[in-house]
Structure 1
Amino acid sequence: MSRTTLNRNCMLVLAAFVMLFALAGQSLALGVAPTQKVIDFEPGQTKEVKIQIINDQQKDFKAIVYARGEMANYTNIRDSLVTVKANEKMKEFRFNVSMPSSIDKPGDHEVEIVVLEFGDDVEEKAIVTARVAVVSKLIVRVPYPGKYADAKLFINSANVNETVTFKVPIYNFGDEAIEEAWAEIQILGATYEVIGKVETNRIRLEPKSENSVKAGWLADVNAGVYHAVAIVHYDDKTVRVEENFEVGNLLVEVENVIVDEFRLGEIAKFDIIVKNTWNELLKDVYGDVKVVDEKGSIYTNYKTASIDIPAYSKGVLEAYWDTKEAQIGKYDLDITLHYKGKTSRKVIETHVNIDSITTKRMPTAEVVGAKSGAGPEFIKQNSVLIISVIILIIINIGWFIYFKKSKK
């Protein structure tokens, strides 16, 4: 293969990468609603189902619609090619599901309706380029013989000494009525010991129906993470669901600051006593410590080492300040604690003398909020941009190597 051919192929590959990631930015142009729909199984019946193709960017495009999955053979799509105009924000699409005479296995059976966007010239070209695909899932629910229920658990958390609300939706997937359904909810502590119990109201459920039961619990406990187990009783059967929930706010607070054996002009050591008010071990707790004078001048900006603090326990963060430029007077000790993606801040009035540093106790710290920056959500929301930047770097490296070789 000649150098010219090789270079041309390299450029084509690089161009393909550029096009691929440029098209990735169009992923929000196409949508579908609903993304999931449930219908009951009716032997031998045909059901018409409607979905909406969403044209978010209000542009002209064509799409191919097809079915895949377990129930695809029972799905009839009359016109698989759909044309969407720029002035159509939503385009209705209909298809039929022809139920068989029987399905041996009870429960949920799925078919996915895939909407695949193509370029405007899909009918003129033998080879076309797909751009974006979205999926609407249809679930055909086959009832269980007799009485069969499932449940979920939703919890509205609360502050300490407020009421936590439990909601338990119960689904009767059987073909017989459930005369009485209710839930007993156990609240477990950090070591999974039972610290409370409540019972919900009681309901009746017709076949293939849903309803909810509720209960409340007074959270007269310390702040922290707790666990709820709901035992759902329906006639002579039970089903179990469980979830974690929180009481109060996750907080690490500064309790005291101690400075021993100090002389002005030397390095002062601050022992910052911090308390974990949560019912779990907190790892990698650290602080940013500033010393600020009355005019706003910052004398030090010190990051402490990280420590682990057990539940409901205290720890000591060590910070240092070289006082050779300091004078006798009043300063603010500004402490920001970092823990589990959150921060809390406390400003303490501090008096510097010849041979002592004393602090004035201040109000309890408050949670400032979660950290910003490159956390998991940031990365998730900007993944296309990040990948595109990486590809552009690779392309630039490729161009550099190409031009370097061509000069030889």
Structure 2
Amino acid sequence: MRNWGYQVPIIIVLLIICVSVAYAGSSIGITPVKKSYFMKPGDTIRDSTTIIYAEPYASVAKIAAYGDFAEWVEFEQDSVKLPAGGPGTTIRYTIKVPEEFGSKTSMNGDIRIELLPPAEEFKAKGTTGAYAAIGMIVNLKLPRPGKYLEAAFRPIENVNAGEIVYFVLDAKNYGTDYLKDISGKIKILDASGNLVLTVSTGVTSLASGGEGQLYGYWETENALPSFYTAVAEIEYGGDNPATSKGMFLVGDLIIKINDVLVNTSHRDVVMFDIALQSLWNAEISNVFAQIDFSNSTGFNVGQSKSTSENIGPRGKATLKAYLDSGYLTAGEYTAHIVVHYASKTVEKIVKFTLDGEKVSDGPRLNTLVYGLFTGTNLLLLIMIVLLVNLFIFLLMSRKRDDDLKRSTYEKPTMQSNIYPLDQPIQQTQPIQQIQQTQQIQQVSQINATQQIQPAQQTQHIQQTQPNTVVSSDVEGSLDRLEELMKK
């Protein structure tokens, strides 16, 4: 007979987990999800949290506190009714710190809301009672006797070389004493842990439980692009300084070749994956690589151009390139890789070996363009083909429209002239056109006659005027002769 003794507890636990998971997926939540308090001996804090419940049926929530200070928490009520699909329900609580509580300076706990499913569902599903619980994490900071300070860096923003790095430290006095002349030193270490320089912060003072900030900055004009670590030591008069660490990047318009993977598993093509890392705090576009290949004697055996990529701020990217190796003999080869970006270049040389016999007598077109139909290149080719087809379509459409217009304006006039069979066919004109032609000829003759008459009159005047002049001269000469004879 099977012994079920040790399996029964496991089955019960699994049933409870299944029921809890089923109800944990219900529409219930709590806001906020975390709170932190700084309290002194004898302090009292009253606060609240809100339950978000959106199930279509009403329910009841049990409220309890758990953790290091559970006995210090009091609720207005131990349970609350949650209406079906109702608005948020507020839970109010009070935390009272006793005058004496030992040597602890930090306590953690949570205010837990345990949802009891409705009895109707239990009856329908035939399950035992189980709770789906949600909670709000509560951190309680208690003062230490004497002097005690905690400090932490705010996130340090990355900058480019030549810009200023600003440091902000949040400091809080968790001791019972007043802290005066709080100041700090920030050591800046490079990626290898070497000290670059030390920066001083400002000075501040804090009462017990008080909060404040310390500020510092670093001008990175001569800094090398790299990751840096800032280590702060804050002096406040206590036994040990408060410390904090933060990391940041000083960027430059530099791309590093982190690695080059060479795949020679296919004898007819060698594939290259060029892994890049940008140290610039902005996007760098159109990054690509050109590769020159040479054999063991230094003779150039081919070239290749990689895919093109845009690298985001401090981002990474991988360029892909291909070499037609089917016609190359076995041996060692060198790839001289030059990565182009923003009018700059970075180079790397890698060696690889080809094994086995060659599989072709020369470069093959399908292998030379092996990498052409990948990534952005494929999209570019598709766009070019579409544009060419669109251009051809527009050109043909325009030609068709021109032909249609020409056929409309140059449509021949159909004439139906009947000639006797025994006479040759002569080209005739419509009667109206003949009449118009005759009228035009008559008008032309009249205009010509009017132009001839003035010309004839002018010629007559020119012919008569000289005769008149001659007769006048003769008469004058005779008159003078008669006068002389009289004298």
Structure 2 unpaired stretches of 5+: 3-10, 253-276, 280-286, 296-300, 324-345, 355-359, 379-487
Separation (CA, whole Å) in 2 of partners of 1:18 and 1:71: 27
Letter of the 1:259 partner, please give it: F
Letter of the 1:103 partner, please give it: F
1:100 Cα deviation after fit: 2.1
Residue 254 of structure 1 contacts residue 346 of structure 1 at CA under 8 Å; is this kept in 2? no
Query: How does 1:233-312 map onto structure 2 within 5 Å?
Result: 233-235=235-237, 238-248=241-251, 250-251=277-278, 256-260=290-294, 270=304, 287-289=319-321
| Structure 2 match to 1:83 | 81
Closer, same or farther: CA 183–59 of 1 in aligned 2, 3 Å: farther
**Would you tell me which structure has more helix in proportion to its own residues?**
2
Percentage identity across aligned positions? 18
1:188 Cα deviation after fit: 0.5
2:173 is aligned with 1:160 = no
Letter of the 1:26 partner, please give it: G
Structure 1 unpaired stretches of 5+: 3-11, 262-266, 292-311, 337-344, 348-408
| Structure 1 match to 2:219 | 218
Separation (CA, whole Å) in 2 of partners of 1:162 and 1:122: 66
Separation (CA, whole Å) in 2 of partners of 1:61 and 1:290: 66
Residue 187 of structure 1 contacts residue 226 of structure 1 at CA under 8 Å; is this kept in 2? yes
2:183 is aligned with 1:182 = yes
1:334 Cα deviation after fit: 8.8
Separation (CA, whole Å) in 1 of partners of 2:27 and 2:121: 24
Residue 64 of structure 1 contacts residue 80 of structure 1 at CA under 8 Å; is this kept in 2? yes
1:101 Cα deviation after fit: 2.7
Deviation string, structure 1 residues 236-283 (Cα, Å, up to 9, x no partner): 65222112222338428656421347xxxxx967597xxxx9xxxx9x
Query: How does 1:326-345 map onto structure 2 within 5 Å?
Result: 326=366
Q: 2:231 aligns with which of 223, 229, 232?
A: 229
Superposed CA RMSD: 4.8
Residue 108 of structure 1 contacts residue 139 of structure 1 at CA under 8 Å; is this kept in 2? yes
Letter of the 1:165 partner, please give it: Y
| Structure 2 match to 1:361 | none
| Structure 1 match to 2:53 | 55
Deviation string, structure 1 residues 336-356 (Cα, Å, up to 9, x no partner): 8xxxxxxxx999xxxxxxxxx
Separation (CA, whole Å) in 2 of partners of 1:184 and 1:335: 53
Residue 269 of structure 1 contacts residue 319 of structure 1 at CA under 8 Å; is this kept in 2? no
Separation (CA, whole Å) in 1 of partners of 2:83 and 2:180: 53
* TM-score of the two chains, using structure 1 as the length reference: 0.58
| Structure 1 match to 2:95 | 97
1:54 Cα deviation after fit: 2.4
1:57 Cα deviation after fit: 6.6
Separation (CA, whole Å) in 1 of partners of 2:192 and 2:241: 25
Separation (CA, whole Å) in 2 of partners of 1:96 and 1:143: 19
Deviation string, structure 1 residues 40-88 (Cα, Å, up to 9, x no partner): 1332x55433111223678644322211111112223343222222443
Residue 54 of structure 2 contacts residue 86 of structure 2 at CA under 8 Å; is this kept in 1? no
Separation (CA, whole Å) in 2 of partners of 1:83 and 1:37: 27
Deviation string, structure 1 residues 372-398 (Cα, Å, up to 9, x no partner): xxxxxxxxxxxxxxxxxxxxxxxxxxx
Letter of the 2:180 partner, please give it: E
Separation (CA, whole Å) in 2 of partners of 1:128 and 1:54: 22
Count of residue correspondences: 296
1:108 Cα deviation after fit: 1.5
Separation (CA, whole Å) in 2 of partners of 1:315 and 1:89: 67
**Further displaced range: 135-144 or 198-207:** 135-144
Closer, same or farther: CA 46–207 of 1 in aligned 2, 3 Å: closer
Closer, same or farther: CA 124–26 of 1 in aligned 2, 3 Å: closer
Residue 57 of structure 2 contacts residue 83 of structure 2 at CA under 8 Å; is this kept in 1? yes
Closer, same or farther: CA 187–46 of 1 in aligned 2, 3 Å: closer
Closer, same or farther: CA 325–193 of 1 in aligned 2, 3 Å: same
Deviation string, structure 1 residues 13-36 (Cα, Å, up to 9, x no partner): 9x9799669738826642232522
**Would you tell me which structure has more strand in proportion to its own residues?**
1
Residue 23 of structure 2 contacts residue 117 of structure 2 at CA under 8 Å; is this kept in 1? no
SS for the counterpart of 2:202 is coil
| Structure 2 match to 1:148 | 148
Separation (CA, whole Å) in 2 of partners of 1:241 and 1:163: 20
Q: 2:365 aligns with which of 293, 302, 325?
A: 325
Deviation string, structure 1 residues 183-204 (Cα, Å, up to 9, x no partner): 2111100111111221121111
Separation (CA, whole Å) in 2 of partners of 1:84 and 1:247: 54
SS for the counterpart of 2:90 is strand
SS for the counterpart of 1:171 is strand
The structure with the largest alpha-carbon Rg is 2
Letter of the 2:232 partner, please give it: A
| Structure 1 match to 2:173 | 172
Separation (CA, whole Å) in 1 of partners of 2:374 and 2:136: 51
Deviation string, structure 1 residues 294-334 (Cα, Å, up to 9, x no partner): xxxxxxxxxxxxxxxxxx99464979999423599x99869
SS for the counterpart of 1:259 is strand
Separation (CA, whole Å) in 1 of partners of 2:60 and 2:149: 43
Closer, same or farther: CA 257–36 of 1 in aligned 2, 3 Å: same
| Structure 2 match to 1:68 | 66
